[in-house]
């Protein structure tokens, strides 16, 4: 039977590559987007033209009612929810002493609280079916910290903690909870870095290049597969050796 996956922030970047890969592997894919309306519609058309099973849902994942509506829509449209990929996220580069309350709150709401909302909503369906997997997209900065990205690093470190604790709690319900911690991946998230900063980041990466969204998606596809049924509570690095 086809598996159904919800992917947050899936109109562009890592989420988009993940949606394309899961759809190509014959999953029902719920593509969540928030601001990228045109990109979401373009992705929807390109996948449905290939005969793949996808739906779009616009929701701000920092708002619980919108998340609840998205999960209910997915359940009603596809009949079940097997997988959740918490990918939506934001980054911001700013000195810690300059961070405003709003900077802090927006970062934590988007990168952490949204995962709380989405995961709670799907677990209410997964626990009774005694099967399911959730995958959280964290970051190397949650493992080792990044200067001028303290709030981002803190949110991703909390996400790693959430992953480990929740994996223990829902393991008896046969639900796997894992984390991918990407290194530097070529997406719009790199736009704020100038050429010099990018060169330094490349130098710090033993494989001497940035990763692609497709490489992160490939790891998610493995973690979502039955081959990964005995893997839970783990942080899998897709980072070119940046963190070993
Ligand atoms: P991206 O291209 O900037 O994409 C970010 C995505 O998050 C967009 O699809 C955006 O949706 C979505 N999003 C943001 N706020 C949202 C909200 N409130 N509700 C719903 N969706 C929201 O960045 P990316 O590199 O693909 O990042 C994806 C994930 O990977 C993030 O969690 C990021 O922290 C993580 N990551 C990235 C890197 C990297 O180097 N690129 C490294 C480590 C970890 P809309 O455009 O529709 O609003």
> What's the residue count for the chain?
244
Active-site residue (options: 33, 44, 117, 152): 152
Point out the ligand 1 atom lying closest to the alpha carbon of residue 216.
Answer: 30
Angle, nearest 10°, between helix axes 114-129 and 150-170?
A: 10
Active site residue 193: no
Average of pLDDT values for 21-35?
A: 98
Which pLDDT score is estimated for 1?
79
Q: Which residue has the tokens 């997209």?
A: 137
DSSP string for residues in 201-234: HHHTSTTSS-B-HHHHHHHHHHHHSGGGTT--S-
Please name the residue whose Cα sits nearest to atom 34 of ligand 1: 89
Atom from ligand 1 closest to the CA of residue 188: 2
Q: Per-residue pLDDT tens for 171-214?
A: 999 999 999 999 999 999 999 999 999 999 999 999 999 999 99
pLDDT tens per residue across span 163-183? 999 999 999 999 999 999 999
Substitution candidate for ligand 1 out of 6, 7, 8, 14 with most atoms within 8 A of CB = 14
Q: Which long-range contacts (CB under 8 A, 24 or more apart) does 161-170 make?
A: 162/112, 162/115, 162/116, 162/136, 163/136, 163/138, 163/233, 163/235, 164/233, 166/119, 166/134, 167/232, 167/233, 167/234, 168/233, 170/123, 170/126, 170/127
For the record, the structure tokens of 178 come out as 């894992």
- Give the mean pLDDT of 105-122: 98
How much is the pLDDT for 242?
A: 98
Cα 80 to its chain centre, rounded Å, is 20
Q: How confident is residue 8, by pLDDT bands cut at 50, 70 and 90?
A: very high
Closest atom of ligand 1 to CA, residue 109: 18
Distance CA 241, CA 244 (A): 6
Predicted pLDDT of residue 173: 98
Pocket (CB within 6 angstroms of ligand 1)? 8-9, 11-15, 32-36, 60-62, 87-91, 110, 137, 139, 182, 184-185, 187-190
Average pLDDT over residues 147-176: 98
- Structural domains in the chain, CATH included, are 4-235 (3.40.50.720)
Say what the alpha-carbon torsion angle 216, 2, 62, 170 is, to the nearest 10 degrees. Answer: -90
Q: Which two tokens stand for residue 163?
A: 């992953």
Task: Please state, rounded to an integer, the average pLDDT across all residues of the chain.
Answer: 98
Tell me the pTM: 0.99
| pLDDT for position 26 | 94
CA of 47 to the centre of ligand 1 (A): 20
Confidence of residue 133 (pLDDT cuts 50, 70, 90): very high
Backbone angles phi, psi at 93, to 5 degrees: -105, 115
- Nearest 5°: the CA angle 150, 156, 157 is 85
**Beta-bridge partner residues of 182:** 238
């Amino acid at each position: 039977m086809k598996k159904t996956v919800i992917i947050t922030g899936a109109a562009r970047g890592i989420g988009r590559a993940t949606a394309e890969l899961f759809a190509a592997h014959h999953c029902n894919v719920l593509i969540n987007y928030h601001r990228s309306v045109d990109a979401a519609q373009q992705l929807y058309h390109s996948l449905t033209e290939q005969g793949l099973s996808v739906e779009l849902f616009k929701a701000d994942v920092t708002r619980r009612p919108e998340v609840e509506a998205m999960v209910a829509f997915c359940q009603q449209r596809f009949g079940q929810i097997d997988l959740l990929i918490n990918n939506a996220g934001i980054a911001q580069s700013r000195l810690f002493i300059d961070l405003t309350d709003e900077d802090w709150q927006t970062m934590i709401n988007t990168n952490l609280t949204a995962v709380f909302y989405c995961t709670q909503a799907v677990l209410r369906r997964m626990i009774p079916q005694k099967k399911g997997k959730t995958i959280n997209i964290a970051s190397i900065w949650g493992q080792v910290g990044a200067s001028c990205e303290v709030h981002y690093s803190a949110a991703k470190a909390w996400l790693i903690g959430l992953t480990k604790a929740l994996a223990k709690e829902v393991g008896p319900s046969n639900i796997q909870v894992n984390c991918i911690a990407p290194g530097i991946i070529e997406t719009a998230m790199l736009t704020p870095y100038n050429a010099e900063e990018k060169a330094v980041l490349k130098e710090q990466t033993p494989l001497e290049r940035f990763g692609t969204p497709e490489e992160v998606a490939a790891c998610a596809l493995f973690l979502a597969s039955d081959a990964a049924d005995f893997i839970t509570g783990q942080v899998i690095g897709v980072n070119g050796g940046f963190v070993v």
